[in-house]
Structure 1
Amino acid sequence: MTVQEPWKICLLARDPATLHVTQQFIHDALSSNQNITVNCHAIDLSQMDNLSHRIESLLAELSSESVSELYFINNAGSLGPIGPCRNTNLQEMRAVLDFNITSACWLSARFVQWAKETMQCPKTVVVNISSLVAIQAFPSMGMYSASKAARDLFHAALALEEEDEEEGEHVLVLNYAPGPLETDMTDQIRQAPLLDTSLRPHYQKQLVDPDDSAAKLVDILFDQKFKSGQHLDYYDILE
């Protein structure tokens, strides 16, 4: 990727140490490009009581800059409990859905509002990191499926609301399913004692390289190879 105009990347996650590892990874990968800065912000997006205050402070900090394009990659979330739906604890369900749905959907909505009303940005792109489970049920993963399905439909509705808006403030929304990635989350699934037996063989093989999936997402976004509100899977691109 060649960057002509200055880019600023803001990383949000709850763990400062992991954030800085990612920051260093980006610096190493793009060391030849002096037009990119990467900042870290340790914010726990599952902590609903102070979430609005923390996000508003961050947006206020970013509002001083003039930009022609804004991209928001909405990736935060939790697997939740893996096992039969009938075993779900009420408090656990509430916490997982607050994090996976309430927090995630509010963040996207607030980002679009800020981009249009404060930044008056000509182009805003919101990417909800989705999954195959958003459109297909998997036994023992009901909580995760419910979360991803709700997020998909919320972002599809957001896309419909913004498609007729004035052309000067263009908002695009994509539900991107990155494929079954080889990540720490995948290891959690493999080790889950109550994972349905029909799914175990699927997770025993080597899965998709996150770098490969991320590269395809960048290609989709910069070449605008999607319709706003669309659910697009990594494997769709390979066909």
Structure 2
Amino acid sequence: LQDNDRGLIVGRRTYGKGLVQREMSLGDGSAVRLTVARYYTPTGRSIQRPYANGDRSYFSDYQNRYKNGELISADSISVNDSLRFVTPKGKVVYGGGGIIPDIFIPKDTSEENETLSYILRSGFLSYFVFEQLDKNRSIFRGINAQDFLSSYEVDEALLNEFLEYSRLNETTLDLKGYEMVLKKYLKATIAQQLFGPNYFEQIINQNDPMIEKVLALEAEN
């Protein structure tokens, strides 16, 4: 799409994987993967991250992007001018490690809290919501998915119950300022257990800056 000027890429630089590998089974049940080719885009660029600096550099690339501020600012994205290519309509694009977007959207840092990340990954939310629905399923009887999406809001009482539930599970809480994020995930998890996983995604992605930017671009055209 980018190389043929058929669309705009919105977001942040991609991972940078552009190899073709073939897996060969060995007699002991293990396998070896051989790189047999590279992918090249229509302008001729390879998007594979380089291995020249060794495995450690290769596998720590994303961490380095974070430390260098690349996920927050487009100006921090480093490019190699020797890997400069031009599309048919004259747009400059670069090879050498991922696709650099046409329109940069910075990473949302509002959920970057160690305790919050642990809670969202640990399953506490799912267990808590399951127990709440088991005790109070009548509260949601008769409500359909669209009504839930548009009108249901997690109140302070439910939020405080969840925080107490987390404390009982020996979680050291430091979540001041993250109450709205927790409410969003509580609502999304309730929706998932009542109506299915698609509704979880709808709630989590409300006001997503990438989606909003794409919708704005569509409206302009």
Q: With structure 2 as the length reference, what TM-score do the two structures score?
A: 0.28
Relative contact order, CA 8 A, sep 6+: which one is greater?
2
* Structure richer in strand, relative to its length: 1
Structure with higher Rg: it is 2
Q: Provide the TM-score with structure 1 as the length reference.
A: 0.26
